[in-house]
Amino acid sequence: MRILIRGAAVIPRPDRGVIPHADVVIEGRRYAAVVEGGGAGGEFDRVIDGEGHLLFPGLVNAHTHLAMTLFRGLADDLPLMRWLTEKIWPAERNLTGEDVYWFSLLGLIEMIRSGTTAFADMYFFMEEVAQAVDEAGLRALLSYGIIAPTPDRIEPELARAEAFVREWDGKAEGRIRAALSPHAPYTCGPEVWRNATALARELKVPIHTHLAETKEEVDRMRAETGRSPAEWLEGLGVFGVPVIAAHCVHMTEKDIEILAAHRASAVHCPTSNLKLACGIAPVAEMLRGGVNVALGTDGAGSAGDLNMVEETRLAAILAKQKAEDPEALPAAEALACATWRGAAALGLGKELGTIEPGRRADGVMVTLNKPHLCPGHNPLADLVYSAQGADVDMVFVDGRLLLVEGELVTLDEAAVMARCRELARRFR
């Protein structure tokens, strides 16, 4: 299959800015050529008109809990611990695999429609999540969330997480990769962390966890161990494998050094962090310290949606306030966090994240023919500071079209929404 996308404005990677007019050729699952000025020759199975559009690398949502779309709007305006203990955890006890399957499909539709092509997900009933991802055609790093409050839960939880990795890692033509996810330093003891790290090394998969999301958990860890959560994990040898650390809100200079030294990735989730009043992650400082910072929405239960276009804008403007410097995290750097830095966090830094020959053909087009993107002095700045998720009208992963002229290819949106509304009733 050879596809030509003709005449779009193209962001091959954010630090190279915008090519005003280019032809982009896809062969099979990979980009084959980017021809500045246009004029790509040859035979094509499909030619897509890119005029008036902006083509850029697919957005990577590096931290979410997909099926929590079920809890969107169920319980807002509450502190994290009350939200979890009074609302979410009781509701999750009634969750079934069927719920997770359908609300994962709903989340996948939302992600496709707002330009996400790859994501990292941690939840329960992961077989059902994987099934949904396979059908949708997205790329994902999936993991079962290990919570072991008592010693007797350690072995069964790890076994369950391991079984998922062994069954699904590399499946869906390689689009699905698996990880191990001890939930957080405050919900898993040293034994879980040591065993999970050994297992991650053996299975050659990364660890995806929550780190330093609230001041309370950091203070408690310090009181109990004399260490920050990052120091504590380092002491357990966890950073000997690749780590994806979601949130990283409350970080010391030393914590930043630890993440940078071990090439761990931090995932900034600004909407969720503000909404739960957890704090503002030091994004500019982490990037300056050499940490790979990716972006994520967190679950729609806390964040409201899975819209990475919005998350990128919020990251860009919030980093300026946090650093007290309007030059912090300029548009191109924010878009880097949302694209190739996200790919790097997922362990796919050499495979995707940019539009360059040889890279996996994951990409997104937005129409520029919108009043809020006019007059178009700088389409990259407009994408970050002015675009809406709804401006996305084409999405492809591995060269396969998932959204064309605003129409979903792989999923039946009306059927998924109808089923989800039905299933949601018993949670009210």
C-beta of 243 vs 331, nearer to a second copy: 331
Specify the stretch interacting with a second copy by CB under 8 A; choose among 162-170, 238-246, 296-304, 344-352: 296-304
Q: Which residues contact 87 (CB under 8 A, 6 or more apart)?
A: 71, 74, 75, 78
Residue 396: DSSP 8-state: E
CA 189 vs CA 201, 289, 370: distances in Å: 19, 29, 52
Q: Does 374 bind a second copy (CB under 8 A)?
A: yes
Angle, vertex CA 271, rays to CA 219 and CA 223, nearest 5: 5
Q: Does 320 bind a second copy (CB under 8 A)?
A: yes
C-beta of 49 vs 325, nearer to a second copy: 325
Helix or strand holding residue 346 (H, E): none
C-beta of 72 vs 208, nearer to a second copy: 72
Nearest CA among 179, 184, 181 for reference residue 203: 179
C-beta of 218 vs 316, nearer to a second copy: 316
Rounded to a whole number of angstroms, the minimum distance from the CB of residue 207 to a second copy is: 28
Q: How far is CA 71 from the centre of its chain?
A: 19
Q: Does 404 bind a second copy (CB under 8 A)?
A: no
Please pick, from the candidates 187, 386, 401, 404, the single residue that binds a second copy as defined by CB under 8 A. Answer: 386
Site map (CB under 8 A) of a second copy, residues 48-87, x = contact: ---------------------xxxxxx-xxxxx--x----
Q: Does 421 bind a second copy (CB under 8 A)?
A: yes
Rounded to a whole number of angstroms, the minimum distance from the CB of residue 246 to a second copy is: 18
Size of the site for a second copy (CB under 8 A): 74
Instruction: For residue 39, count CB atoms less than 10 angstroms from its CB and return exposed for 0-12, middle for 13-18, buried for 19 or more.
Output: exposed
C-beta of 48 vs 106, nearer to a second copy: 106
Q: How is residue 405 written in tokens? A: 């002229």
C-beta of 149 vs 406, nearer to a second copy: 406
CA 406 vs CA 6, 114, 346, 367, 395: distances in Å: 18, 10, 27, 10, 9
Please pick, from the candidates 45, 152, 226, 375, the single residue that binds a second copy as defined by CB under 8 A. Answer: 375
Instruction: For residues 226 and 71, give the distance between their C-alpha atoms in angstroms, rounded to a whole number.
Output: 36
Residue 171 phi, psi dihedral angles, 5° rounding: -80, 180
Rounded to a whole number of angstroms, the minimum distance from the CB of residue 104 to a second copy is: 12
Strand segments (E) across 11-115: 19-27, 30-36, 46-49, 53-57, 59-64
In the region spanning residues 264 to 293, those forming contacts with a second copy, defined by CB under 8 A, are: 271, 273-280
In the region spanning residues 162 to 221, those forming contacts with a second copy, defined by CB under 8 A, are: none
C-beta of 136 vs 205, nearer to a second copy: 136
In the region spanning residues 332 to 371, those forming contacts with a second copy, defined by CB under 8 A, are: 369, 371
Instruction: For residues 113 and 395, give the distance between their C-alpha atoms in angstroms, rounded to a whole number.
Output: 8
Q: Does 391 bind a second copy (CB under 8 A)?
A: yes
Q: Does 313 bind a second copy (CB under 8 A)?
A: yes
